[in-house]
Amino acid sequence: MGLASFLVLVWIGSGTDHAWWSPPSASTVPSLGEGVVSGVFVAAAGCTALVTWRRHAGAVAGWIVATGALVAAQALVVTLIALHSTPPRGATVQLLMLAVGTAGMLGVVVPLLAPERVRRVADETFVIGLGLGLVAAGHLLLQFPRVQPPSTQMQLLIGVLLCTQLLSAVLVLQQRAASRAMSALLLATVGVVVLGQLVPPSGLAGGSVDAALWLARTAAGAAWLGIAWATLRRNLEDERRRINSFEHVLVDASREQRAQLHELRSTIAGLVTGSALLDREDLTSETRERLWASLRRELDRMERMLAGTGPQTADLRLDDALTQILDLQRLKGRHVELHSTGDVVRAPFDALAEVLNILVDNAAKHGGTDESVVEVMRRDEETVDITVTDFGRGIPRDQRPQIFDWGKRGTTSKGEGIGLNVAQRLMTEAGGSLRLADRDGAGSSFVISLPSARRSPENDLGTTRLTAPKLTMEDGRAWRVSG
């Protein structure tokens, strides 16, 4: 980008009516190319100031970050006044130019005299804006006609402009906000701009000297444009990464909310079904008490979900825990056969209940069967497997690799495709796993693997072991977990 800018600037300069390096005179009129180049640098300085201002809110901070744009604006206003008055200029016009230059110097330098405020906003983008503003001033101030020798007012004006450029660069460089290479480029730019103002009135203007200054000014401008372009691309890339990270956070939050909503819907559906069963007059007192216990248990689980209480890991006796969990499924009219071995696992009861409900409900909703078998088998000393098998339609072979992916569902399924993803996540967080087992014949089979609870002195002293809950109506509670 810097090389392309340099070639464009050289091409524009070589196409003007008079050489850029020729000393300005009373009859010299700026070309369209010179005006375009100056306008590009003024606009670039203004845009850079705007970008920096968006990072640092506040009136004072906004004035400080606009240093480069103010340097360019000072030169622009002085040049416009000079172009609208034919030399020799009257005293009033010269005093007006001097007043404008002095006001610009105060507006630039005075805010920079507060180092603490400058330090808070000074960064590479701020330095780039100053560099672009200095290049814009260098191009602008050479465009208005001058007479030789310059009057006292014009000499004062040149001094004010040079002080503005030198002091702004020095005060900014003191903050060490840029790299060494960028700081060196800023110093070189100031040198080129200052020499461009001093050479014409000194009488040293000539073909080789002016050509060298023109070439240096062009190279400095191209370098700043290239750096600005690279910095802009880097900032856009950083912004894109930040936006992507925010989107991931929002997606994760949305997925978590949908997962919680799925758990709540599943729990509420069980409560609705259980409540409807309570209206049946043919229920025995024992069945009604079991149903009340299941409903109370589901209400307690829903209360923990709404309160955001994390699942409490404990030692679970699978004979008792699975009986509790599958009780409500049987009361729904589903035929669930349980084969347990009396093993004890280390897992959260709520998580195990949610996963089993998802698997049995899926068999009924998507597999078209109310019959399931739950089998417990110790794999080894460390792991206990709970296999949930149904005899429904099964899962097509081509869909099996994606069944645990978020949002994946069968072509005829009316669900959201998140139940199995939630179930697998819950088992992973519990220190276990959930997988689809290979099965011949109809139906499907899922394996829940959980860590076995191992007895030790620490377990005996500090671990709660869940046993069969007492299904009572004591104190309005439908069940108790005793250890």
The larger pLDDT score, comparing residue 463 to residue 403, is at 403
Can you give the pLDDT at residue 462? 38
Can you give the pLDDT at residue 189? 94
Q: Hey, what are 183's tokens? A: 């700081």
Lowest pLDDT segment from 80-94, 261-275, 284-298, 375-389: 261-275
Residue 251 within any structural domain of the chain: no
Q: Residue 421 maps to which CATH number?
A: 3.30.565.10
Q: Do residues 53 and 62 lie in contact, with contact meaning Cβ atoms separated by under 8 Å?
A: yes
Whether residues 323 and 450 share a domain: the answer is yes
Residue 467 within any structural domain of the chain: yes
Q: Do residues 228 and 129 lie in contact, with contact meaning Cβ atoms separated by under 8 Å?
A: no
Q: Hey, what are 448's tokens? A: 């829940």
Spatial neighbors of 9 by CB under 8 A, at least 6 apart, are 37, 218, 221, 222
The larger pLDDT score, comparing residue 191 to residue 247, is at 191
Can you give the pLDDT at residue 458? 44
Can you give the pLDDT at residue 79? 86
pLDDT class of 411 with cuts at 50, 70, 90:
low
For a pLDDT cut of 70, what percent of the chain falls above it? 75
pTM above 0.75, yes or no: no
Strands 371-378 and 335-339: parallel
Give the count of domains, the chain. Answer: 2
Whether residues 234 and 300 share a domain: the answer is no
Whether residues 88 and 165 share a domain: the answer is yes
Taking residues 222-234, what's their average pLDDT?
A: 89
Residue 266 within any structural domain of the chain: no
Q: Do residues 343 and 376 lie in contact, with contact meaning Cβ atoms separated by under 8 Å?
A: yes
Can you give the pLDDT at residue 456? 43
Whether residues 125 and 190 share a domain: the answer is yes
Whether residues 211 and 306 share a domain: the answer is no
Q: Looking at the predicted structure, is the pLDDT value of residue 288 above 80?
A: no
Residue 448 within any structural domain of the chain: yes
Residue with tokens 């009488």: 203
Residue 116 within any structural domain of the chain: yes
Can you give the pLDDT at residue 432? 92
Whether residues 324 and 215 share a domain: the answer is no
Whether residues 291 and 406 share a domain: the answer is yes
Q: Looking at the predicted structure, is the pLDDT value of residue 461 above 70?
A: no
Can you give the pLDDT at residue 20? 44
What value does the mean pLDDT of the chain take? 78
Residue 236 within any structural domain of the chain: yes
Domain that holds residue 19: 2-246
- Cα–Cα dist 211/218, whole Å: 10
Whether residues 331 and 195 share a domain: the answer is no
| Other Cβ atoms closer than 10 A to 235 | 14
Spatial neighbors of 213 by CB under 8 A, at least 6 apart, are 21, 192, 195, 196, 199
β-partners of residue 344 are 317
Q: Hey, what are 195's tokens? A: 């020499």
Residue with tokens 């829940």: 448
Q: Looking at the predicted structure, is the pLDDT value of residue 368 above 90?
A: no
Can you give the pLDDT at residue 57? 61
Picking from 190, 222, 246, the residue at the C-terminal end of a domain is 246
Whether residues 301 and 207 share a domain: the answer is no
Whether residues 329 and 234 share a domain: the answer is no
Reported for 455-461, long-range contacts at CB under 8 A and 24+ positions apart, including other chains, are: 459/315
Whether residues 304 and 376 share a domain: the answer is yes
β-partners of residue 465 are 315
Lowest pLDDT segment from 65-74, 208-217, 231-240, 260-269: 260-269
pLDDT in tens, 167-200: 999 999 988 888 899 999 999 999 999 888 887 6
For a pLDDT cut of 90, what percent of the chain falls above it? 21
Give the torsion sign (CA, 185, 190, 194, 197).
positive
Residue 481 within any structural domain of the chain: no
Residue 59 within any structural domain of the chain: yes
| Other Cβ atoms closer than 10 A to 333 | 10
Q: Hey, what are 462's tokens? A: 């500090």
- Cα–Cα dist 219/10, whole Å: 9
Whether residues 353 and 410 share a domain: the answer is yes
pLDDT in tens, 422-456: 889 889 988 999 999 887 667 889 999 999 986 44
Give the torsion sign (CA, 149, 152, 153, 155).
positive
pLDDT in tens, 312-324: 788 888 888 888 8
Picking from 195, 229, 246, the residue at the C-terminal end of a domain is 246
